[in-house]
Chains A and B, each alone.
Chain A
Amino acid sequence: MNRVIFFTILILLSGCSKRETPVDIGNREKILHLGNLSEPKDLDPHVVTGVSAYNIISALLEGLVTDDPNDPSEKTVPGVAESWTTSADQKVYTFKLRNDAKWSNGDPVIAEDFVFSYQRMLAPAMGSPYAYMLHLLKNGRAYNLGTLNVFNQVGVKALDDKTLELTLEQPTPSFLSQLNHWSWFPIHPPTILKFGKQNQMGTAWTKPENYVGNGPFTLKAWRQNQSIVVQKNSLYWDAETVQLNEIHFHPIGDHMIEERSFRAGQLHVTGTVPIDRVRYYKDSKPDQLRLDPYLRSYYYLLNINKPPLNDIRVRKALAMTIDRETLAQFVTRSGEDPAYSFTPPYLTGYTPPIRFSTDIEAAKKLLADADFPNGDNFPAMTLLFHTSDLHTRIAEVIQQMWKDNLGIHIELENVEWKVYQDRRKNRQYDIARAEWVADYADPSSFLDVWLTDGGNNHAGWSSAEYDTLLKKASLTVDTSERSSLFNQAESILIDEQPIIPLIFLPSKSLIQPSVKGWNPSILDHHPYKFIRLEVN
């Protein structure tokens, strides 16, 4: 009996050798496995909002321009448009579409497709969250708000099948980088109309069997919360360049589970790295860790309507006491850069102003001037953030810095994600954690947030001078003059301190050595058609 059991166990064990991992198979069959953090809402570019949706949509659809894979600063290169001309007043762009650009069902990509797409995006009934990106078009805003009902007055026109003319409300130097946002991607009109009305969201057109795209890949399978699979599109105009046969996107929300899956050989590239694992990879597997500059600013919002935060001296004292170098080096430890401005210093042609430094003595004096010497009588205040390892650690350290240096005690308040968002939106906070990720590579993607009527201006801060400078910058074509206007505007923002800049977060990922062509990009864009899998 015992012998039988012994041999059974032996046979079972011998059958279980180390398996061939998905990454091994992927390397052989050119299948890329990506960690994608969360399940996208949909794959309709007029409905989606987040990075995880962009990651998939950018494989399925291609805009007029696309990313230059070798330029981390995100200069755009021709996409579906092979060339374009600009009018002397910089208001009219005429795009020549590629003759060989096709949809995945074989239809040619024509200028009329873009007109249809932009009409859908701007249609009030769509309620598209990113419709405001298309307010750049002449009358785009009016049509989107429903004050204009005829679409032919909006600045988009198909001159012929292959010529598209976009007329802007005003000259916009950042227009080409903005065009690289998914809200400007085309969709296939006959497919939309086959499954619903032009302005209808949530129809069946995004199901794998129905999806028609013009990108380097087509949608093969969509298993909710499990994986989204795209496969090489042989009808894509540049199919020759595409090396991968398939990409599998795995929505793994928990960072620890994602890292375990990476270690088990299930992912080629992860969406992020758990904060506690960065050190381990830095020390023992540096070739698998990628920390690249990214347009992502982490800061604290101050409720400037609430005393004592309505006193600029208090705001400045709070900002000047935080040792950002210590924060980046010993707390977050993932290659963050200390932030003294709201815009990160990674944009070509723009250097953000440095208006203050860590100066504890000066901060003490400011607080004393504001009638709180040594923090005496400082009212009870809370720092609001949502549940996450990173936010908790940063908050605890800053709480201590304020206590040690200024003698004030700030309570920490850790709440659930939606509760946090709701309270921030309704300004029910004293100090709140916040961050901003750019939609396109231009200072305006950051600075527009703080316009008086900016939808994300949760500080309630308003400066007529700031608004004027940004308005002026948006009309200025000369790059150095434009950059100087942005600089002046940002100086006002930082001087008035409705926010406390803290750190610039990098894009973090773990990457298998077999992945080639995954180049740094400040927007964290990695055009898949240039990605290769090579085993040494």
Chain B
Amino acid sequence: MLKFILRRLLELIPVLLISITLVFFMVRLAPGGPFTAEKSFTAEAIERLNEHYGLDKPIMVQYGNYLLNLLKGDLGPSFQYPSRSVNDIIKETFPVSLELGALAMLFALFVGLMAGIVASLKPNTLQDHVPMGLAMTGICMPSFVLGPLLILIFGLWLGWFNASGWELPIDRVLPVITLGSAYAAYISRLTRGSMLEVLPSDYIRTARAKGLSEANVIFKHTLKNALLPVVSYLGPATAGILTGSFVVETIFNIPGMGRMFVLAAFNRDYTLILGLVVFFSLLVVAFNAVVDILLGLLNPKLRMHS
């Protein structure tokens, strides 16, 4: 297991290096810079700002300095927000995205598993068609449609929730549903499929023959095996939820990392863009590794092979 984790960590280095190099040079190719503004700064002011941020140095020197600082864990200052470093901004925005993502994941798992199990118990009846029909709608409906729709109904017409913001616990409800529902839909289809595969197997018949209660048969015996495809989906899904939350963060005006990423690109905030790319890459690789380990724990067959 240790060897496996070490190999994963080593793989991380080239991935990071390639993405940093690509992004470092690509953001500088984009027209405009951090200090182009509607009302032009004076040439002297721009010169001073370039000096302040080291943008007056040759580009390879800037690149080298960036990598050196990165080794020390310093992602540099933000160009757009002079009194905050990129590290500060990540520290402030990541917990928000994490909370949103984690709640959305829990929602997706709970709703998805329940719907999948319910549907699989009586296949091709109404009890199957209704949740699966909803799931299909959920997969097809993009969050930028679902979000405003939920706001309109529950925020503006019924007046139960705020239309935007992240101040009160109740502000979490609509964004979490918006972000989680597509994943819930996908999980429900996966669960139904694998439940239907496992349910007819011999050991389930044996379990029933032993006289175990139906709940025991489903949750203890069937679900454990039926969960495997869901777990392998969780890795990419969690990474997707965390990095793809910017649409939902924008719709609900949530101060998370996804929205910050989009703003950084608009503002040509070079260091902030790079810092967030580094952080996102780390996240994605880490989640995939965690899922591999989890799968190993759940399925002894996989452990044997690796």
Is B225 engaged at the interface, CB distance under 8 Å to the other chain? no
Which A residues touch B30, using CB under 8 A?
418-419
Is B165 engaged at the interface, CB distance under 8 Å to the other chain? yes
Is B38 engaged at the interface, CB distance under 8 Å to the other chain? yes
Q: Considering the chains assembled together, what is the distance between the CA atoms of A27 and B178 in angstroms?
A: 31
Which B residues touch A422, using CB under 8 A?
31-33, 36
Query: CB distance A260 to B155 under 8 Å?
Result: yes
| A421 touching B162 in the complex, CB below 8 Å, given contacts A124-B48, A129-B45, A224-B93 | no
| A263 touching B251 in the complex, CB below 8 Å, given contacts A226-B165, A425-B40 | no
Is B281 engaged at the interface, CB distance under 8 Å to the other chain? no
CB distance from B266 to the nearest CB of A (A): 6
**B49 closest partner in A (C-beta):** A127
Query: CB distance A227 to B48 under 8 Å?
Result: no
Query: CB distance B155 to A42 under 8 Å?
Result: no
Q: Considering the chains assembled together, what is the distance between the CA atoms of A41 and B39 in angstroms?
A: 15
Q: Considering the chains assembled together, what is the distance between the CA atoms of A202 and B271 in angstroms?
A: 15
Is B159 engaged at the interface, CB distance under 8 Å to the other chain? yes
| A42 touching B253 in the complex, CB below 8 Å, given contacts A127-B49, A266-B163 | no
Which A residues touch B44, using CB under 8 A?
124, 127, 144-145
Which B residues touch A42, using CB under 8 A?
81-83
Q: Considering the chains assembled together, what is the distance between the CA atoms of A419 and B51 in angstroms?
A: 23
Query: CB distance A455 to B166 under 8 Å?
Result: no
Query: CB distance A224 to B52 under 8 Å?
Result: no
- Kindly identify which residue among B82, B160, B161, B266 contacts A201, using a CB–CB cutoff of 8 Å: B82
CB distance from B165 to the nearest CB of A (A): 7
Query: CB distance B259 to A225 under 8 Å?
Result: yes
Mark interface residues in A240-271 (1 if CB within 8 Å of B CB, else 0): 00000000001010100100110111100000
Q: Considering the chains assembled together, what is the distance between the CA atoms of A143 and B98 in angstroms?
A: 49
Query: CB distance B164 to A252 under 8 Å?
Result: yes
Is A22 engaged at the interface, CB distance under 8 Å to the other chain? yes
Tell me the dominant secondary structure on chain B's binding face.
Answer: loop
Query: CB distance B164 to A132 under 8 Å?
Result: no
B189-239 contacts to A, CB under 8 A, are none
| A41 touching B80 in the complex, CB below 8 Å, given contacts A19-B159, A264-B155 | yes
Query: CB distance B162 to A264 under 8 Å?
Result: yes
CB distance from B154 to the nearest CB of A (A): 9
Q: Considering the chains assembled together, what is the distance between the CA atoms of A159 and B159 in angstroms?
A: 60
Query: CB distance B162 to A207 under 8 Å?
Result: no
Which B residues touch A197, using CB under 8 A?
none
| A257 touching B163 in the complex, CB below 8 Å, given contacts A42-B83, A127-B48 | yes
Mark interface residues in A183-206 (1 if CB within 8 Å of B CB, else 0): 000000000000000000111101
Q: Considering the chains assembled together, what is the distance between the CA atoms of A265 and B156 in angstroms?
A: 9
| A18 touching B40 in the complex, CB below 8 Å, given contacts A225-B260, A418-B32 | no
Which A residues touch B170, using CB under 8 A?
19
Is A356 engaged at the interface, CB distance under 8 Å to the other chain? no
Mark interface residues in B42-54 (1 if CB within 8 Å of A CB, else 0): 1111111101100
Which B residues touch A227, using CB under 8 A?
165, 167
Query: CB distance A203 to B253 under 8 Å?
Result: no
Q: Considering the chains assembled together, what is the distance between the CA atoms of A39 and B82 in angstroms?
A: 13
Number of interface residues of A (CB under 8 A): 53
- Kindly identify which residue among A19, A128, A257, A416 contacts B253, using a CB–CB cutoff of 8 Å: A257
Query: CB distance A129 to B41 under 8 Å?
Result: yes
**A251 closest partner in B (C-beta):** B253
Query: CB distance A418 to B36 under 8 Å?
Result: yes
Which B residues touch A417, using CB under 8 A?
32, 266
**A132 closest partner in B (C-beta):** B42
Most buried by A among B84, B164, B166, B268: B164
Which A residues touch B43, using CB under 8 A?
455
Is A306 engaged at the interface, CB distance under 8 Å to the other chain? no
Which A residues touch B42, using CB under 8 A?
129, 131-132, 455
Q: Considering the chains assembled together, what is the distance between the CA atoms of A263 and B159 in angstroms?
A: 10
CB distance from B167 to the nearest CB of A (A): 7
Q: Considering the chains assembled together, what is the distance between the CA atoms of A536 and B111 in angstroms?
A: 46
Most buried by A among B36, B43, B83, B93: B83
Query: CB distance A225 to B77 under 8 Å?
Result: no
Given contacts A418-B268, A455-B42, 20 further A-B contacts (CB under 8 A): A18-B159, A19-B159, A19-B170, A41-B82, A42-B82, A42-B83, A127-B44, A127-B52, A224-B93, A224-B255, A250-B253, A257-B252, A264-B159, A266-B165, A418-B33, A418-B266, A421-B36, A423-B31, A456-B40, A458-B40
Interface residues of A (CB under 8 A from B): 16, 18-19, 21-22, 39, 41-42, 44, 47, 49, 124-129, 131-132, 144-145, 201-204, 206-207, 223-227, 250, 252, 254, 257, 260-261, 263-266, 416-419, 421-423, 425, 455-456, 458
Sample (21) of A-B pairs whose CB atoms are under 8 Å apart: A18-B158, A22-B162, A39-B263, A125-B48, A131-B42, A206-B83, A226-B165, A227-B165, A257-B250, A260-B164, A263-B156, A264-B156, A264-B163, A416-B266, A417-B32, A418-B31, A418-B33, A418-B267, A418-B268, A423-B31, A458-B40
9 closest cross-chain pairs (CB), A and B: A127-B48, A418-B32, A202-B82, A264-B163, A225-B255, A18-B159, A226-B255, A422-B32, A260-B163
